[in-house]
Amino acid sequence: MPQTAIAILFLTSLALVTSLEPWFQSWQGNRAQSADLLAVLLGDARRAFANHFFIKADVYFHNGYYPSIFDNRTAFQTPHMAADAGALEEKNTGEEDDFLGPPKDWIDAFGRRFKPATHTHLYQGGARADGPAHKEIELADSQDVREILPWLRASAALDPQKIETYTTTAYWLRQRMGKTTEAEAFLRDGLRANPDSHEILFELGRIADEHGKDPARARNLWELALAKWRKFELPKKDPDTFSLLQIASHLAMLAERESRWDEYLHYLGLWKAASPQPAEIEKRIAEAQAKRAAANAKPQTQNSKP
């Protein structure tokens, strides 16, 4: 009986696909906007599905230890995998380990024995009998981490305008799994769908700088990211200062490495304006001014020698 039911479902699905695809190919209603049958069928609901898949990846990231809609979610307002990747500004408060609170009764306490009850991340290997729950392991050696990638790719396919999906996935690919080429290709896909994204340009600059060892290319990408930020974010009532902080700080550190002191001071000013700790950046500015003065005085001292 089960095999008969499966056969019927398969034949029904096959008939549905073969009837819908020719109709879709000849339909002019949305062809100018999308060649994706799934996007047309789902419509605007695909964004909700995309967000669901993104959160599903974060659930896997936590080895299943994740609050439901009935639990305290203050420590999970920002998906942790995105916050750890620097793709989103973290806005979590409260304790990650204790969103369940104390057991309500003995039934609740007993039920917790059959579901994840320890806060761990995939890169920590989960709770193990031979070591502490937060023991660090290399992601390249963990097959579990691969579980999050299909969810993230599905999220990007359903909502190509969800920027954090590209930047988060790229981080996991390049930084945690060593797949830099794949990460850059995924970001390029995101940039084609979102050509004005300063976030994606910033991530491409990080790949050029950290993995490609190409500071000139990284500078060009970050300067373009800054130009996009100024054009699209600066006019807003509540601009994305978190991205400005990232872009300006990386441009500043690159200028410092190359002893471009005027450039360094310029980007330090932007960094300070976006930083939640401007006093710390002010110290950097004072040090940079001293280094610039010393650099400018050095040729004069050499010329004054007999």
Sketch out the chain's domains with CATH numbers: 42-194 (no CATH), 196-295 (1.25.40.10)
Q: Which long-range contacts (CB under 8 A, 24 or more apart) does 283-291 make?
A: 284/252, 288/256, 288/261, 288/264, 289/265, 291/259, 291/261
In this structure, which amino acid lies at residue 244? Answer: L
Cα separation, 305 vs 282, whole angstroms: 35
Q: Which of 180, 182, 173 is nearest to 214 (CA)?
A: 180
Residue pLDDT tens, the chain, 306 long: 455 655 566 556 555 555 544 544 454 454 444 445 555 555 567 777 777 777 776 666 655 555 555 555 565 565 656 666 666 666 655 665 665 566 666 566 656 555 555 555 555 544 443 444 444 444 444 455 677 788 888 888 888 999 999 998 898 888 877 889 999 999 999 999 999 999 999 999 999 999 999 999 999 999 999 999 999 999 999 999 999 999 999 999 999 999 999 999 999 999 999 999 999 999 999 999 999 999 888 765 444 444
Tokens representing residue 46 in the block? 């695909």
What does pTM read for this prediction? 0.70
Which DSSP string do the residues of the chain spell out, in sequence order?
-HHHHHHHHHHHHHHHHHHHHHHHHH--SSTTT---HHHHHHTTHHHHHHHHHHHHHHHHHTTT----TTS--GGGSS-HHHHHHTSS-----S-STTTT-S-SSHHHHHHGGGS--S---GGGT-SBTTB-TT----GGG-SGGGGHHHHHHHHHHH-TT-HHHHHHHHHIIIIIS--HHHHHHHHHHHHHH-TT-HHHHHHHHHIIIIIS--HHHHHHHHHHHHHHHHHHTTTSSS--HHHHHHHHHHHHHHHHHTT-HHHHHHHHHHHHHH-S-HHHHHHHHHHHHHHHHHHHHHHHHHHT--
Cα separation, 45 vs 53, whole angstroms: 13
